[in-house]
Amino acid sequence: MSPEDEDIELDVILSVLENPVRREILKRLSRETNYPLQLSKELNVSQQAIMKHLKVLEENDFVESTEEKSDKGGPPRKVYSPKRRYCIRIDIGPNTYQEEFYTYKKYDIVKKEFQESDVSYEKQIEIKGKVTGEMKDEVVAALPAFTDPDLEKIRIKLEEIVNETNYNVKINELKLLVQEIENNINTIETKRKRLLALKERTNQEINTLISHISMNQIEKDLLTLYIKTNTLDPNFLSEQLNVRKTIIEKTLDKLVNFIENKKD
Amino acid sequence: MSPEDEDIELDVILSVLENPVRREILKRLSRETNYPLQLSKELNVSQQAIMKHLKVLEENDFVESTEEKSDKGGPPRKVYSPKRRYCIRIDIGPNTYQEEFYTYKKYDIVKKEFQESDVSYEKQIEIKGKVTGEMKDEVVAALPAFTDPDLEKIRIKLEEIVNETNYNVKINELKLLVQEIENNINTIETKRKRLLALKERTNQEINTLISHISMNQIEKDLLTLYIKTNTLDPNFLSEQLNVRKTIIEKTLDKLVNFIENKKD
């Protein structure tokens, strides 16, 4: 998927999620599959409107539907369930704009990580201990990170819970595990927020410095790209900025000369 | 801000960001303030369309405009700059739906953190060492986390860079710092992605367990809420689920009795 494709996808995803009823439908379906009639009752929205929203969600791969025989001998009815995984993240600040978006189907990321890894699939399973068949789908995806003690602790606990047959014990353990996962995610969120504050301040310093050094747009764009990618390759810079290579080279010479001799 | 207000805000934010030209405008403005005419040229979009988008962005507090005297004696022209910070995060999976959204103006979060902290503002500055006046705005906001060595290392480096007067050194240091911040954020993203995979699998276990235990919607909702919040307070559960307290109590009795005696 090229960066351009991703841009187009993000537009679509955001326009789908912008609608609060569609977000509410996704939340409900993440707890259990559902029929339009049920959703209509639970959300207090007309069945016609629900059908419209489900159509949008299905066309954009958020949900899928399967036909189910009616138990009262009526026509078969459609039951909806969530389909893909999306993580969307947008950070906006006076000196920061960053958007991230990834989507993957069940095994895709697993395969990709195994392909990129030096260690074979079997070897990874061996290293990390027995993984129950039922857990493979989602949990194996996280294997390469399990040198991290927080993650490994959660994985082991999850394996125990999957094998637990006493409902009472199982519910109690699930409660504790949910809390532990949430705590871990919150800790990470806090650290990320603080890194963003530091990034925002660093970007401010970069923008101020660049406005001191350079006068025109090409120079500014060139310096920004240089600082953020640390490359002076004229071919790369020319392609990224859509500016002729000869101009890039001339501008680079000028900037390098200026920076070498300039004191604040 | 009540949870309901936040819901409304997120709809608006997403509908603003859904438009790729508006996202591109925010990206440009995060690098430098800009005039509509400049933006129109850079983005190759008519000035009329740019004005429309800027109006939407301004009405929703993404940007603000200030009037600037024209240097050619013409009428004053408006210059636009980004205003608020937003972090938007939405995670969607077959068994997961979670949205997060926070927004804050410059000192708000700083104040809040200081208010919630046991340690006084002055004491925190003392503990963390001298903070330059210029840096206070953004960096002080991150102070309470600086027991974390990764963050503290970045803060110290940033202080040095702010005080650096040699442009050559400054650019080199900024390049390294940008890279270090990005690496830190990437590490965190990877861990978070894996926690989400574990959370998704845990939620699947919860949903399966609940569908084994309970038949009707109230029971299901009650069990889900109980596992995720770990509370049995009938008042809280009644309010959250919008179900009468007597029904909650009856259902709780039934569920507790069932769970205590049931084996898988």
Contact B193, A141 (CB under 8 A): no
ipTM of the complex: 0.71
What percent of chain B is modeled with pLDDT above 70? Answer: 77
Average pLDDT over residues B223-233: 85
- Helix, strand, coil shares of chain A, percent, nearest 5, are 65, 10, 20
Q: Could you report the per-residue pLDDT of B61-90, keeping only the tens digit for each? A: 899 998 887 766 778 888 999 887 788 888
| More confidently predicted of B179 and B241 | B179
Domain assignment of residue A231, yes or no: yes
Q: Could you report the per-residue pLDDT of A121-158, keeping only the tens digit for each? A: 444 444 343 444 444 444 444 444 467 788 888 988 98
The domain total for chain B is: 3
Average pLDDT over residues A210-219: 81
pLDDT beyond 50 at B247: yes
Within a 13 Å sphere around the CA of B66, how many CA atoms are in the beta-carbon half?
A: 7
State how far Cα A85 lies from the chain centre: 8
State how far Cα B234 lies from the chain centre: 32
DSSP letters spanning A39-89: HHHHHT--HHHHHHHHHHHHHTTSEEEEEE--TTSS--EEEEEE--EEEEE
Lowest mean pLDDT among A140-149, B6-15, B90-99: A140-149
Q: In the prediction, which pLDDT does B103 show?
A: 64
Which residues of chain A neighbour B174 with C-beta distances below 8 Å?
202, 205-206, 209, 227
What percent of chain A is modeled with pLDDT above 90? Answer: 23
Say if residue A167 is in the same domain as residue A92: yes
pLDDT beyond 70 at A2: no
C-alpha distance from B74 to closest chain A C-alpha (Å) = 22
Q: In the prediction, which pLDDT does B173 show?
A: 94
Nearest residue on chain B to A39, judged by CA atoms?
B217
Which residues of chain B neighbour A190 with C-beta distances below 8 Å?
145
- Give the span between the Cα atoms of B93 and A138, in whole angstroms: 11
Query: Does residue B185 sit in helix, strand or coil?
Result: helix
Q: In the prediction, which pLDDT does A262 show?
A: 61
pLDDT beyond 80 at B6: no
Cβ pair A94:B30 closer than 8 A: yes
Contact A259, A213 (CB under 8 A): yes
DSSP code for A3: H
Listed residues A16, A49, A83: the one ending a domain: A83
Say if residue A130 is in the same domain as residue A70: no
| More confidently predicted of A148 and B133 | A148
**Which of B31, B90, B259 is facing A224, going by the closest CB pair?**
B31
3-state secondary structure A95-106: CEEEEEEEEECC
Average pLDDT over residues A248-257: 86
Q: Could you report the per-residue pLDDT of A44-66, keeping only the tens digit for each? A: 999 999 999 999 999 998 999 99
Say if residue B227 is in the same domain as residue B149: no
Which of A42, A193, A198, A257 to probe by mutation at the B interface, max B CB count within 10 Å?
A198
Residues ≥6 apart with Cβ < 8 Å to B106: B137, B138
Nearest residue on chain A to B212, judged by CA atoms?
A167
- Give the span between the Cα atoms of B241 and A200, in whole angstroms: 41
Say if residue B42 is in the same domain as residue B78: yes
Residues ≥6 apart with Cβ < 8 Å to A74: none
pLDDT beyond 50 at A81: yes
Domain assignment of residue B190, yes or no: no
Lowest mean pLDDT among A191-195, A245-249, B54-58, B184-188: A191-195
Q: Could you report the per-residue pLDDT of B29-47, keeping only the tens digit for each? A: 988 888 899 899 989 999 9
Which residues of chain B neighbour A198 with C-beta distances below 8 Å?
138-139, 142, 151, 154-155, 158, 181
pLDDT beyond 90 at A8: no
Domain assignment of residue A253, yes or no: yes
Binned at pLDDT 50, 70 and 90, residue A108 comes out as very low
Which of A12, A28, A34, A85 to probe by mutation at the B interface, max B CB count within 10 Å?
A85
pLDDT beyond 70 at B128: no
State the CB neighbour count (10 A cutoff) for residue A165: 9
Domain assignment of residue B59, yes or no: yes
Cβ pair B170:A209 closer than 8 A: yes
Which residues of chain A neighbour B90 with C-beta distances below 8 Å?
17, 86-88
Q: In the prediction, which pLDDT does A5 show?
A: 43
Query: Does residue A248 sit in helix, strand or coil?
Result: helix
Residues ≥6 apart with Cβ < 8 Å to B191: A145, A148, A150, A151, A188
Say if residue A68 is in the same domain as residue A126: no
Domain assignment of residue B228, yes or no: yes
Listed residues B60, B83, B106: the one ending a domain: B83
Contact B235, B245 (CB under 8 A): yes
Say if residue A98 is in the same domain as residue A166: yes
Pairing of strands B85-93, B77-82: unpaired
**Which of B90, B202, B260 is facing A177, going by the closest CB pair?**
B202
Average pLDDT over residues A18-44: 90
Lowest mean pLDDT among A92-101, B45-54, B150-159: A92-101
Say if residue A76 is in the same domain as residue A117: no
Say if residue B181 is in the same domain as residue B90: yes
DSSP letters spanning B239-250: HHHT--HHHHHH
CATH of the domain at B17: 1.10.10.10
Say if residue B136 is in the same domain as residue B153: yes
Domain assignment of residue B159, yes or no: yes
Say if residue B163 is in the same domain as residue B177: yes
Domain assignment of residue A241, yes or no: yes
Listed residues B32, B49, B83: the one ending a domain: B83
**Nearest-CA neighbor of B152 among B164, B139, B163?**
B139
Which of B33, B83, B97, B232 to probe by mutation at the A interface, max A CB count within 10 Å?
B97
Q: In the prediction, which pLDDT does A74 show?
A: 77
Cβ pair A207:B83 closer than 8 A: no
Binned at pLDDT 50, 70 and 90, residue B204 comes out as confident
Cβ pair B17:A14 closer than 8 A: yes
Pairing of strands B77-82, B63-68: antiparallel
In the A/B pair of chains, how many CB contacts fall below 8 A? Answer: 287
- Give the span between the Cα atoms of A232 and A177, in whole angstroms: 49
**Which of B94, B139, B204 is facing A197, going by the closest CB pair?**
B139
Q: Which of A82-91, A143-152, B53-62 has the highest mean pLDDT?
A: B53-62
Q: In the prediction, which pLDDT does B1 show?
A: 38
Domain assignment of residue B139, yes or no: yes
Say if residue A112 is in the same domain as residue A79: no
Which residues of chain A neighbour B217 with C-beta distances below 8 Å?
42
DSSP code for A119: S
Q: Which of A127-131, A236-240, B113-117 has the highest mean pLDDT?
A: A236-240
| More confidently predicted of B224 and A17 | A17
Say if residue B92 is in the same domain as residue B171: yes
Lowest mean pLDDT among A79-83, A121-125, A142-146, B145-149: A121-125
Which range marks the domain in which residue A252 is found?
214-261
Cβ pair A85:B94 closer than 8 A: yes
